[in-house]
Amino acid sequence: MNWQAISFDWNQVRAFLATAEKGSFSGAARALKTTQPTIGRQIGALEEALGVTLVERSVRGLKLTEAGRNLLDHVRAMGEAATLISMVADGSSQDVTGEVTVTGTDLLSVSVLPGVLWPLRETAPGVRVRILTSSELENLTERDADIAIRHVRPDQPDLIARHIGDFRANLFATSAYLDRVGRPGRLRDIADYDFVGNADPERLMAPLHNMGIPVRAESFVMSSANGVVAWELVKAGYGVSMLPEALADAEPTLERVIDDFPTLEFPIWLVTHRELQTSRRIRIVFDTLARGLAERLARQRPSDSTPKIAAPGSGSKAIAGARAPKA
């Protein structure tokens, strides 16, 4: 821990976070039950301590600078940590009970959620989590779930979302399969391989064609709407598939089909009901998921200069206006 680098206090950080969330000094002052000049002084002190300008002031109002935008996610994480610290200190997290339903894709639910949700057993043992494997946002709008993990930002006005980061995906196959058919010398060669597809394998054909891989519908010799089944089919050696790098790089039987293949990015959105944002048990689970997923994304293999493109159907990655539920 670099203690000398911590030259600001929590009140300054809290003032900046409230201003960013509320959009003005006056809104932040009302939220924090203080005065507008106090908010201004605290943000000014934070800017001086960090040596950057966080907020631009103009006749049209406040606007975060690039430094302010870069800092915002980290400040939100500090706010979430402060909330959990307060709950643990007064024992309130131990008193939070009830069920929270989380929905995510089947592969993510199997491979990622068990590890991400584990801290809940210590911070909120009274919360019971039910995992619903699905990729439909209707699970939220129809109240089948409290929190959804999705690759597309929702546009329903009664939902709020936070962009956690991006899973990167690439073409993988077993080493045994590539030993049998040969490793490609160029992208075009991959079109002659067998493919394992998901529920709608033809959706992958257009971006592959754009990359110079004229794969055909008949190339998909195996497909499944279940991501876990598709994962096992690839591991069984049926062919090539587009898989999350964070999972496939850790699987010793798999390897990347070609090193310079452009990375596809799948955004991860954490979504919940707007009117449930004051529910303490949902907030605890939301914050745990946000922190755990962000840590999992950070453990991806460092990105290189390989081109990156948005995965088909992943939607906009813009996060303007995306906000976490408030405690």
What pLDDT sits at residue 229?
94
In contact, 162 and 323? CB cutoff 8 Å: yes
Do 106 and 62 fall within a single domain? no
Do 71 and 132 fall within a single domain? no
Tens of pLDDT, residue by residue over 263-308, are: 888 889 999 987 666 688 888 999 999 999 998 888 777 655 444 5
Do 273 and 173 fall within a single domain? yes
Q: Which residue has the tokens 């002031």?
A: 57
Where is the domain boundary, 89, 124, 141? 89
What's this model's pTM, rounded to 2 decimal places? 0.65
β-bridge partners, 310: 265
What pLDDT sits at residue 326?
37
How far is residue 78 from each of residues 75, 93, 211, 286, measured CA to CA in Å? 5, 17, 41, 14
Residue 235 placed within a domain: no
Residue 128 placed within a domain: yes
**CATH code of the domain covering residue 264:** 3.40.190.290
What pLDDT sits at residue 85?
64
Residue 285 placed within a domain: yes
Do 262 and 297 fall within a single domain? yes
Do 83 and 101 fall within a single domain? no
Q: How many domains does the chain have?
A: 2
Residue 163 placed within a domain: yes
Residue 134 placed within a domain: yes
Do 19 and 77 fall within a single domain? yes
Do 180 and 295 fall within a single domain? yes
Residue 50 placed within a domain: yes
Tens of pLDDT, residue by residue over 41-61, are: 999 999 888 889 999 877 677
From 258, 256, 249, select the one nearest 302 (Cα to Cα).
Answer: 249
Do 304 and 322 fall within a single domain? yes
What pLDDT sits at residue 200?
77
Where is the domain boundary, 63, 89, 115? 89
Q: Which domain holds residue 313?
A: 97-184+243-327
Do 9 and 83 fall within a single domain? yes
Do 82 and 101 fall within a single domain? no
Residue 311 placed within a domain: yes
What pLDDT sits at residue 151?
86
Residue 148 placed within a domain: yes
Do 174 and 255 fall within a single domain? yes
What pLDDT sits at residue 243?
92
**CATH code of the domain covering residue 18:** 1.10.10.10
From 191, 192, 309, 171, select the one nearest 242 (Cα to Cα).
Answer: 171
What pLDDT sits at residue 84?
62
What pLDDT sits at residue 113?
95
What pLDDT sits at residue 60?
72
For each successive 10 residues of the chain (327 residues), what is the average pLDDT? 63 90 88 90 89 83 87 82 61 71 92 94 92 74 83 80 90 97 92 89 82 90 92 96 90 92 86 75 92 87 54 42 36
Where is the domain boundary, 59, 89, 119? 89
Determine the residue type at 149. I
Do 175 and 272 fall within a single domain? yes
In contact, 14 and 79? CB cutoff 8 Å: yes
